[in-house]
Copies of this chain bind each other. A is one copy, B any other.
């Protein structure tokens, strides 16, 4: 889901950063899962996929199909015969694990890990995140190699995710930490008519509407009129109308109050 311009898939690597965490899959069993992980990685601007001892005969074609076009991640994937080799150049590694181990180990949420990664980014810190095989997860030996355990806060009685979903949430936290999208803004169509209305245009509409309401008898009780006018203006004041929308509302008022003759086509404003 992109809220900005649509880009082509071929440009996807441009939105991946060299300092993004590496994703390390230890003994993945199914090509589909490797493909879905590649897709989730590219969704989140991650490009460094490392695979330790995938199950013999895993299906590259199935991985590609499941990746929905994230082949650039699969193409760059590197293969290792041990976790030790796969993490050799990294400086901080996190274990993702669904089971609580009988270990004394720092537990970190994905948001905290992403915050720390961004803080350490200027130092060139190389980070990796380890995922174990689908059903069994990481071995205790692999967890012991890691600096901390990544713990996803989810329903404690129903917390199990598939591999790609865990990668997605962790990657999403990392991506949003580097993203400056405003929390809330109004999307404007790019056409000129979608420009914000000036106050003169908005007040012109108010006066048009109030004039029609006066004529129709809706505002006939004199002592209530000022308050009703303010209430009606407050309804529309919340909308941040565009120029085009002001024209639409004026057309509605004209049509309702005088029939077709007074509506669109009557003047330059339409």
A contacts, CB < 8 Å to B: 1-12, 14-16, 40, 42-45, 68-70, 96-109, 111-112, 115-116, 148-161, 164-166, 168-169, 172, 175-176, 179, 181-189, 191, 194, 242, 245
Contact = CB atoms under 8 A, between A and B. Distances in A.
Contact of A100 (B3, B101, B108, B242): B3
A111 B187 contact: no
Contacts of A156: 2, 4-7, 15
A187 B104 contact: yes
Contacts of A187: 100-101, 103-107, 149
B69 A8 contact: no
Contact of A159 (B2, B104, B159): B2
A242 B9 CA distance: 50
Copies per assembly = 2
B1 A157 contact: no
A43 B161 contact: yes
Of listed A8, A109, A150, residue having the most chain B CB within 10 A: A109
A97 B187 CA distance: 13
A160 B40 CA distance: 9
B1 A160 contact: yes
Contacts of A2: 98, 100, 151, 154, 156, 159
A166 B105 contact: no
A175 to B, nearest CB: 6
A175 B157 contact: no
A108 B155 contact: no
Contacts of A44: 154-155
